[in-house]
């Protein structure tokens, strides 16, 4: 097994998430001797960030050396734009905010002409150096060139400054590539790839599916492995995932960003195609070991081939045995396949009282599934959930929800695998069908109830 991920300190040969001042992000692999380019924000030497805790924010200084700073927008000099961080006193703000207005009464919108600096001048400034100091200088000049800066209120000046800092300060934050970070990266880069799943929905999915170390999970993942990665992070090397895929090979492209070795992945993730999964008995590989003498006589390349095939056959047969034994600790279905068509294959493989969880970007897809499960006796109390985080502008004295947010997130359908009573109930008393009175009592308290009642009646009928 792999050494446990290092999630506390920045070390070489590790994938990390780099957050940029523009709120963009990139995943980088840290080569000890390497330099990492952040596009317009410059470049830095990897060795200058090593040894610092993951989560540290850096500023690019001279010679591409990164120096730790407090935060992305926090200013080291007396300029204090995060009002939350220290008391808003006049002397902290003197540098930029010595003249400000009480209100925005005198602001007149004259568009771009308010700024005396033109793009060319800013470009020239940018070219004059690569360190963060230049960024600071540009900001100062932009503010100096702003004809009505003094007409802004202090709050507005702060916001303006923060915007410019995001644009010109050469800062970046290095984070551990955790389960949320990988998802965030894809949300930023290619939201379709993660089926519009939000961080809060992923969290809910993992909780309802009761993901933990030692579990044995049945998984469908159309997010190229982002969901599998999240599960691996929660499992920390214990348990197993059986991943069912629709092509010849499973698509786990997102795992290329992870620090999990191929060996580790093989140990944790077994993969089977839908064909193999649907007909596990037929897909078993009949394997007969060749006599040792025969193997010894083979050419080395042939020997290698033989041992490889032997290994592959054993892997597939092991995975097929997992299917045949069933009793999975959860079904996690993040799939774009028609759910109704796959239910008959997956539901019986889930163990008793274990969760069955589906994700879809669309409520309508899950609605159909829920209706179907409500008439199916094997999944108890299916319900659809939605969870949305509403982010606030978090500044002391000025708390309010952000004015706009990206609209996405998806939905979850969660139920519990159960065993309908067929035999048991029949044994107790087939003839004693419920009196209508009893029926009414139950209907009144169980919402939406018909499936359970229908299930029971069907059970009794089946018992004949």
- Per the listing, tokens 């709120």 go with 23
Q: How many residues bind other proteins (CB under 8 A)?
A: 102
In contact, 114 and 146? CB cutoff 8 Å? yes
20 to 49, contacts with other proteins by CB under 8 A?
none
Report the distance separating Cα 398 and Cα 16, nearest Å.
33
Residue 104, token pair as written in the block? 């925005």
Which residue lies nearer to other proteins by CB, 131 or 180?
A: 180
- Per the listing, tokens 């007909």 go with 279
Select the residue interacting with other proteins from 45, 267, 284, 434 (CB under 8 A): 434
Shortest distance (Å) from residue 188 CB to other proteins: 16
Q: Does 8 bind other proteins (CB under 8 A)?
A: yes
Q: Of how many residues is the chain composed?
A: 464
Select the residue interacting with other proteins from 47, 200, 246, 259 (CB under 8 A): 200
Shortest distance (Å) from residue 183 CB to other proteins: 9
Which residue lies nearer to other proteins by CB, 204 or 320?
A: 204
Report the distance separating Cα 275 and Cα 428, nearest Å.
41
257 to 296, contacts with other proteins by CB under 8 A?
none
Backbone phi, then psi, for 368, in 5-degree steps? -60, -45
**Residue 303: Cβ within 10 Å count:** 13
Report the distance separating Cα 179 and Cα 43, nearest Å.
26
Shortest distance (Å) from residue 447 CB to other proteins: 6
Select the residue interacting with other proteins from 12, 34, 53, 348 (CB under 8 A): 53
Range in contact with other proteins (rule: CB under 8 A) among 34-42, 148-156, 318-326, 392-400:
392-400
Shortest distance (Å) from residue 82 CB to other proteins: 7
Report the distance separating Cα 165 and Cα 66, nearest Å.
17
Q: Does 371 bind other proteins (CB under 8 A)?
A: yes
Range in contact with other proteins (rule: CB under 8 A) among 24-32, 128-136, 250-258, 369-377:
369-377
Q: Which of 28, 390, 63, 5 is nearest to 173 (CA)?
A: 28
Shortest distance (Å) from residue 463 CB to other proteins: 11
Residues 6+ apart with CB under 8 A from 79: 92, 93, 95, 96, 161
Q: Does 82 bind other proteins (CB under 8 A)?
A: yes
Q: Does 344 bind other proteins (CB under 8 A)?
A: no
Residues 6+ apart with CB under 8 A from 318: 270
Shortest distance (Å) from residue 425 CB to other proteins: 4
Q: Does 70 bind other proteins (CB under 8 A)?
A: yes
Shortest distance (Å) from residue 4 CB to other proteins: 7
Backbone phi, then psi, for 171, in 5-degree steps? -115, 155
Shortest distance (Å) from residue 455 CB to other proteins: 8
293 to 332, contacts with other proteins by CB under 8 A?
327, 329
**Residue 315: Cβ within 10 Å count:** 15
Range in contact with other proteins (rule: CB under 8 A) among 90-98, 101-109, 240-248, 443-451:
443-451
Report the distance separating Cα 272 and Cα 416, nearest Å.
24
Select the residue interacting with other proteins from 37, 63, 236, 340 (CB under 8 A): 236
Site string for other proteins, 393-432 (x = CB under 8 A): -xxxx-x-x---------x----xxxxxx--xx--xx--x
CA atoms within 13 A on the CB side of 41: 26
Between CA 143 and CA 145, with CA 144 as vertex, the angle to 5 degrees is: 90
Q: Does 110 bind other proteins (CB under 8 A)?
A: no
126 to 165, contacts with other proteins by CB under 8 A?
none
């Amino acid at each position: 097994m792999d050494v446990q991920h290092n999630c506390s300190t920045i070390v070489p040969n590790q994938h990390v998430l780099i957050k940029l001042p523009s709120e963009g992000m990139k995943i980088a692999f840290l080569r000890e001797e390497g330099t990492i380019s952040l596009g317009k924000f410059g470049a830095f030497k990897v060795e200058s960030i090593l040894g610092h805790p993951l989560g540290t924010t850096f500023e690019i200084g001279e010679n591409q050396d990164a120096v730790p700073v407090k935060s992305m927008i926090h200013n080291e000099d007396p300029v204090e734009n995060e009002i939350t961080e220290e008391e808003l006193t006049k002397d902290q703000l003197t540098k930029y905010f010595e003249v400000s207005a009480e209100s925005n009464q005198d602001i007149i919108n004259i568009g771009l002409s308010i700024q005396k600096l033109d793009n060319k001048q800013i470009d020239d400034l940018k070219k004059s150096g690569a360190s963060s100091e230049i960024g600071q200088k540009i900001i100062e000049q932009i503010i100096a060139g702003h004809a009505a800066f003094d007409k802004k209120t202090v709050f507005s000046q702060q916001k303006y400054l923060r915007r410019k800092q995001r644009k010109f300060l050469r800062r970046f934050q290095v984070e551990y590539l955790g389960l949320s970070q990988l998802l965030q990266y894809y949300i930023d880069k290619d939201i379709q790839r993660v089926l519009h799943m939000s961080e809060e929905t992923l969290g809910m999915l993992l909780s309802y599916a009761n993901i933990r170390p030692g579990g044995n999970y049945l998984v469908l993942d159309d997010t190229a492995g982002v969901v599998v990665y999240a599960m691996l992070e929660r499992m920390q090397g214990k348990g197993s995932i059986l991943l069912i895929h629709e092509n010849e090979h499973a698509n786990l492209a997102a795992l290329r960003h992870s620090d999990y070795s191929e060996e580790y992945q093989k140990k944790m993730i077994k993969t089977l195609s839908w064909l193999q999964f649907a007909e596990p008995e037929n897909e078993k590989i009949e394997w007969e070991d060749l006599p040792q003498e025969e193997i010894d006589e083979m050419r080395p390349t042939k020997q290698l081939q033989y041992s490889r095939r032997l290994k592959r056959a054993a892997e597939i047969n092991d995975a097929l045995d997992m299917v045949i034994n069933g009793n999975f600790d959860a079904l996690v279905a993040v799939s774009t396949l028609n759910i109704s068509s796959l239910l008959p294959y997956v539901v019986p493989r889930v163990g008793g009282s274990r969760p069955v969880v589906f994700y879809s970007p669309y409520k309508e897809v899950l609605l159909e599934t829920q209706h179907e499960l409500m008439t199916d006796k094997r999944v108890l109390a299916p319900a659809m959930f939605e969870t949305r985080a509403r982010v606030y502008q978090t500044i002391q004295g000025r708390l309010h929800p952000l004015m706009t947010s990206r609209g996405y997130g998806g939905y979850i359908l969660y139920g519990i695998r159960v065993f309908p009573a067929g035999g048991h109930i029949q044994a107790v008393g087939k003839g004693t069908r419920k009196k209508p009175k009893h029926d009414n009592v139950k209907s009144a308290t169980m919402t939406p109830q018909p499936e359970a009642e229908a299930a029971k009646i069907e059970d009794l009928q089946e018992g004949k």
